[in-house]
Chains A and B, each alone.
Chain A
């Protein structure tokens, strides 16, 4: 069975400050990793994903995440946040050899960016 731990339930930061949202996973097999973002009263949207290849993946709005196999982590970072980044962020893991493509989600981290 897989599991995902998001180490911080809430992260308050000031605008233009850097931020890191932490995610650790456990799995007995190779995995795909995802970060989803949920803005207030909306569904989840994919932010970025790691499937294979380069361990550093980037999103179009300045977020990046690095897959660290030895530490089983996939932390999300942004060097300078904006008010509009306020949202809940979910880390998710999937077995890349499975046949049902299920995702296991963490409990989420609420990022609040203050002026």
Chain B
């Protein structure tokens, strides 16, 4: 039981490039989330999903897209990367009930 896995762990992008951050969970959780973490700012919700085929915007969705074709996978797409997207990105999942979220190890992204 691996929990929540994220790839890659690190990535450097040039301005204007695109990439997909991968997130997979093996706990059969319905709910999945993408956050970004910037120093001193806590975690900000980018997008979330309440089940396969259903996604919705969080607090800071601009510049990102998501899809949820399966229960297990919730990739985050960055189109036209900008320096403001330099951050650490965390994926999380939860089941229904008590809202406890399980986090992946994170992806550290630098856009230069």
- Taking Cβ atoms with an 8 Å cutoff, the residues of A that contact B are 9, 32, 34, 36, 42-46, 49, 51, 90, 94, 96, 99-103, 105-108
| Chain A residues near B106 (CB-CB < 8 A) | 42-43
Residue of B nearest to A52 (CB): B98
- Taking Cβ atoms with an 8 Å cutoff, the residues of B that contact A are 4, 31, 33, 40-43, 45, 48, 50, 56, 58, 90, 92, 94, 96, 98-106
Residue of A nearest to B95 (CB): A101
Q: Which of A42, A101, A105, A108 contacts B40 (CB 8 A)?
A: A108
Q: Which of B4, B42, B102, B105 contacts A108 (CB 8 A)?
A: B42
Are B99 and A90 in touch, CB under 8 angstroms?
no
| Chain B residues near A103 (CB-CB < 8 A) | 33, 45, 99, 101
Taking A32-B98, A36-B103, A107-B42 as given, write out 14 further A-B residue pairs in contact, using a Cβ cutoff of 8 Å, ordered by the A residue number: A9-B40, A32-B99, A42-B106, A43-B4, A43-B90, A43-B103, A44-B90, A44-B101, A46-B100, A49-B100, A90-B43, A102-B33, A102-B45, A108-B42
The total number of A-B Cβ pairs within 8 Å is 57
| Chain A residues near B40 (CB-CB < 8 A) | 9, 107-108
| Chain B residues near A46 (CB-CB < 8 A) | 100-102
* CA distance in complex: A96, B99 (Å): 8
Are A101 and B96 in touch, CB under 8 angstroms?
yes
| Chain B residues near A101 (CB-CB < 8 A) | 31, 50, 94, 96, 99, 101
Are A106 and B56 in touch, CB under 8 angstroms?
no
Closest Cβ–Cβ distance, residue A47 to chain B (whole Å): 11
Are B48 and A102 in touch, CB under 8 angstroms?
yes
Given A32-B98, A45-B103, A94-B99, also A99-B41 (CB < 8 A): no
Residue of A nearest to B105 (CB): A43
Closest Cβ–Cβ distance, residue B8 to chain A (whole Å): 15
- 7 residue pairs, one from A and one from B, having the closest CB atoms: A43-B103, A107-B42, A94-B99, A44-B103, A105-B43, A105-B42, A101-B99
| Chain A residues near B58 (CB-CB < 8 A) | 102
